[in-house]
Homo-oligomer: A and B are copies of this chain.
């Protein structure tokens, strides 16, 4: 099985606040090719240290991926250090320089002089185009090892790895078939979910099962390898086929689609529409719904009613009701959902009101209490939630629960 090392470059990755996480996505991609990651090194923006690290890595490993340090500034040292480590020269590429110039022009700006630094290529390197940033990647085959120099920002790095490195690696290391499947569940704790399905998945070493939880969303990754895709798929079917019935309605996706994608698909198909009324989430729910391309087909809009008066003025929630029941109450959540549905003229409307903290809350409804409402063509329902954690976590959890309420109402 071929082995890889990953080197992450950046002084900020050696602080107490930040560390390399790019290697996680890279590892997933490499593993997908049947390549094992055997060492990861994090070095600062230091030419000599990076050169020494890279020299050691290529001496012992067939595949070395370097991320970061390809920017245009003084402290971007990867090009220089790699040239030193590989004993090659750096050559200015007019072609790459022109591509950077064109990119700047496309958003109406002029390339600065220092960006020319990004047009230097290691002798013999192939350029990996970067349609999402200015730093091109470089691919160097030194015979005994393959070296990829990739940009640090994840949204540039990951697509570049997928588009330019995966095919090159696949050509060099014909993989066995590896197939993955992603199941997603919500409305259940990670521990409970694991207790429910571990009797199944622990009986199999192939596929490998990994469980990841984030803001109430649980992903169950299955990864099978076999000689052919069909055999790997059969292994996945065997295990997924046992897990799925155990989770019942908690499972919402068998193909990795997110809640908002699944909801959007259903609403579009039924030609129905959605609006939102958000208090403590302040737009995060709408932001997540509209993160799906084409969401304008079913999402008409919404109301951020953060102050009590805006709940009354924009949504028609009775001011007396707010005084009587408080803004964080079942009744107000209901009135918000009804108001949004009526005023945005949609088939469905979600509402969220709660105490996200750190201050606020009452004895009855402390910080972490959130009411989520859903108005449908037939009725309006409200759920009261209690969530642990900080402001960020409470708000994201509330969004997840609101989307799940709608999913269940749509029978998905």
Contact = CB atoms under 8 A, between A and B. Distances in A.
A195 B392 contact: no
A153 B357 CA distance: 20
Contact of A72 (B15, B28, B194): B194
Contacts of A15: 27, 31, 210, 221
A209 B15 CA distance: 12
Given A14-B27, A39-B53, A299-B306, A293 B391 contact: yes
A252 to B, nearest CB: 20
Given A210-B11, A211-B73, A388-B132, A282 B293 contact: no
A344 B190 contact: no
A69 to B, nearest CB: 12
How many chain A residues sit at the interface, stated as a range, is 35 or more
Interface in A21-37: 21, 23-25, 27-28, 31, 36-37
A280 to B, nearest CB: 8
A268 to B, nearest CB: 14
Contacts of A302: 283, 303-304, 306
A75 interface: yes
Contacts of A72: 190-191, 194
Contacts of A89: none
A290 B282 CA distance: 6
Contact of A389 (B155, B189, B209, B286): B155
Interface stretch (A42-50, A120-128, A142-150, A400-408): A42-50
A56 B388 CA distance: 38
Interface of A: 10-17, 19-21, 23-25, 27-28, 31, 36-46, 49, 53, 56, 71-75, 103, 106-109, 112-115, 132, 134, 153, 155, 189-192, 194-195, 198, 202, 208-212, 214, 221, 275-276, 278, 280-291, 293-296, 299-307, 309-310, 313-314, 343-345, 357-359, 368, 386-393, 395
Given A39-B41, A287-B287, A300-B306, 19 more contacts: A10-B210, A16-B24, A16-B27, A17-B221, A40-B41, A73-B191, A74-B198, A75-B210, A107-B368, A112-B189, A114-B191, A276-B304, A282-B291, A283-B289, A283-B302, A291-B392, A300-B310, A301-B304, A314-B314
29 contacts: A14-B27, A14-B36, A14-B40, A16-B27, A16-B210, A17-B210, A17-B212, A17-B221, A19-B24, A38-B46, A74-B198, A107-B388, A112-B189, A132-B388, A132-B390, A155-B392, A278-B283, A278-B286, A281-B287, A283-B283, A283-B284, A283-B289, A286-B287, A286-B306, A300-B306, A301-B310, A303-B314, A309-B345, A314-B343
